[in-house]
Chain A
């Protein structure tokens, strides 16, 4: 068995501008690109289309070669044994989900008298997405309404989600994920929301990338923690009193 600690790195790099399709057919590519552009639209900031979310999704669906970038971004990890097995089974399901989902997008678009989803107007595309999501198109966040939520798992995998929810999650991932995976071209997604991310994954490994500048630079614990008295030497062996 090849331990996860020793997975090989395949030195593959993804060109965000590529039009080479590894999984999608031409039609499927255009359809998902169009849907992604309704999910993360373009306005005065770039959207899914400009950030090349489609390349990200195509690579992910193509198999398991693009599942995990090497830590420093120098290529992609080649899974082995049990992990590869489980990942391939998951990928096969994901491929099926997309192929069926794309058929549904077209079917629904034709019911609304468009030739296909990709050729439909923005408005009809939105209507189709509303239908497959089973809910009206989301409205802006209101600061006055009150909602209540319940806890859920940390982390957010695409396991067991519907086609629509999967697509929305993948669009987010392709828009905001590290550019090494093919989306988030030129860090467009990060710039849109103000996330000052690393130039490269490698920069996160050796301290080159840091958020130190965002810490409060001038502060005094005695102000922030009223009633606290700093001892002269913070590492002294002095006994601190409890109740």
Chain B
């Protein structure tokens, strides 16, 4: 027989970037909240250190592909293969426990992408059901509570901001300085991109940044890189209203006769199946897993998956492939670039963010110069794999190469989607997410143009050779950004969620991760995910829980 826990006000599934702010806001508002994560609750000061092998090669934090597989195929006709697509760590903190830390704001144009561009053949462009100005106060709240360093006003195209950053940026690294030099030669507005850490003398009075350089994909033992596990989760716990259940896999959202969600069924650490009832269910499992859980939660009322009356759950997935160019410098002419130092990213630009159709594509994105990594995995595409040539390449270029990466803003397509794999199961015996994706022609064109531009910057900075890494025929999910799958919109026939992340058809079910994003954004998504979650949680706490509802009235778009 199933065990049942005492009911609570709110259940949150997934305690990463999306679940963290919601846990804080709702428990601070006085509601009883239980948060589930299928992963463990690691203790940074005890579990994290600068061990390249453990974190980058042996997947200590990334999901074990044999336990939590995903499958991928490029279209309906091809067979899906098991692949660690878009791996994000499974633990309390989710992706924030090891992310690189780029925390740029989205732009005004992101929210009105369809209005600005109209239809793009083969794509499903859409406006967001709210605008930049609706999110701005929450972007500021996150920057000031989570702890972000940046240089307000340095990004010339940034939208309105109500407050500067609580913390100044880190100094540039050697490769960062080269990046500024190259950009400035070409008249490109570059600046220290905001990052999720605090520097010395920050306005929040918290400890300053860790400078070990073990950053992207590593956990931070000093807890000075912000993570929801060391900020919002402890803040939520401090209210006495929040409980974390780690190592607990949620396998179904339950629905009552009236069509409302009644709670969840989860498998506890000892393998028992347990029910947890709640007045509100919030999903924040990451866009792939949120869609999967909705599809797994089919019932008489929703035979095709929870809240899937539109048939859109899982569709319009976007993944932001990470592509880059590497420059090799002449060690006899230059000072070392120390591409393994710093805090992953050191300077970036949004100069090529906005659409310029003369480039042959619409949209754009953000670039940044980043570490090439520590010695085992140092990134040098085409490095000889063995013998004297390999040793010479390592010795010559480990300290003399740099990389400029680009977050590719892929266009939403209904055919790019997540559904349930018909044969492959995870370690809990549940069908895994199957990803179907093929880049749009616009994605390929954007990849080519932007990476060639990155090569120009490297050349202007003095690189002797540049090596491009473009988008291939399929996304690899290597940015580990997930958006789209459970679209927000105003029309229930064309979207699953409204502007509060609330499903159109199950009024007490909310999806508060990147799944709601109708377009991918040209920036890394996590700041937006957090601000969005906060905004929606505010609505749940102050409007929905009080028995009221509200809709946003959007004014017509002024085209400049």
Contacts and interface: CB of A to CB of B under 8 A. Distances in A.
* Interface size classification for chain A: 35 or more
Contact of A89 (B66, B171, B246, B321): B66
B323 interface: yes
A40 B212 CA distance: 27
Interface in B29-55: 39-43, 45-54
Nearest to B218: A204
Interface in A136-160: 137-141, 143-144, 147-159
Contacts of A86: 64, 66-67, 427
A151 B478 contact: yes
Interface string A205-224: 11101111011110101001
A243 B87 CA distance: 36
A171 B341 CA distance: 23
B49 A71 contact: yes
Contact of A214 (B173, B191, B381): B173
A195 B49 contact: no
B57 interface: yes
A63 to B, nearest CB: 14
B50 A151 contact: no
B211 interface: yes
A54 interface: no
Interface string A42-75: 0101010000000000000000000111011100
Interface residues of B, number: 123
Contact of B375 (A82, A126, A158, A189): A189
B56 interface: yes
A144 B469 CA distance: 17
Contact of B58 (A47, A157, A165): A157
B499 interface: no
A234 B153 CA distance: 10
B171 A217 contact: yes
A151 B323 contact: yes
Contact of A41 (B41, B340, B387): B387
A235 interface: yes
A19 interface: no
Interface in A65-103: 67-69, 71-73, 82-83, 86, 89-90
A152 B49 contact: no
B203 interface: yes
B230 interface: no
B331 to A, nearest CB: 10
Contacts of B336: 194
Contacts of A129: 386
A176 interface: yes
Interface stretch (B2-10, B15-23, B154-162): B154-162
Interface in A155-207: 155-159, 165, 168-169, 171-173, 176-178, 180-181, 189-190, 192-195, 197-198, 201-202, 204-207
Given A210-B211, A240-B158, A71 B51 contact: yes
A139 B389 contact: yes
A5 B246 contact: yes
Given A149-B470, A168-B386, A210-B212, A158 B57 contact: yes
Nearest to A152: B476
A215 B386 contact: no
Interface of A is mostly: loop
A240 B164 contact: yes
A229 interface: yes
A90 B214 contact: no
B390 A40 contact: yes
Contacts of A154: 216-217, 322, 478, 480
Contact of A141 (B163, B191, B397, B476): B397
Nearest to A135: B385
Given A1-B269, A168-B386, A211-B213, A224 B180 contact: yes
B154 A228 contact: yes
Given A90-B66, A155-B62, A240-B158, A3 B394 contact: no
A224 B389 contact: no
B396 A141 contact: yes
A4 B212 contact: no
A205 B221 contact: yes
A18 interface: no
Contacts of B375: 176, 189-190, 193, 195, 197
A214 B341 contact: yes
19 contacts: A4-B42, A45-B395, A69-B54, A126-B387, A129-B386, A143-B328, A149-B469, A154-B322, A177-B53, A190-B375, A192-B394, A194-B336, A195-B374, A204-B51, A216-B174, A224-B180, A227-B156, A242-B159, A242-B160
Interface of B: 39-43, 45-54, 56-60, 62, 64-67, 84, 87, 91, 108, 151-154, 156-174, 176-177, 180, 184, 189-192, 202-203, 210-214, 216-217, 221-222, 246-247, 269-271, 321-323, 328, 330, 336, 338, 340-342, 347, 374-377, 381-399, 427, 464-465, 467-472, 476-478, 480
Given A141-B382, A149-B382, A234-B151, 7 more contacts: A68-B54, A71-B49, A151-B322, A152-B476, A194-B399, A234-B152, A242-B161
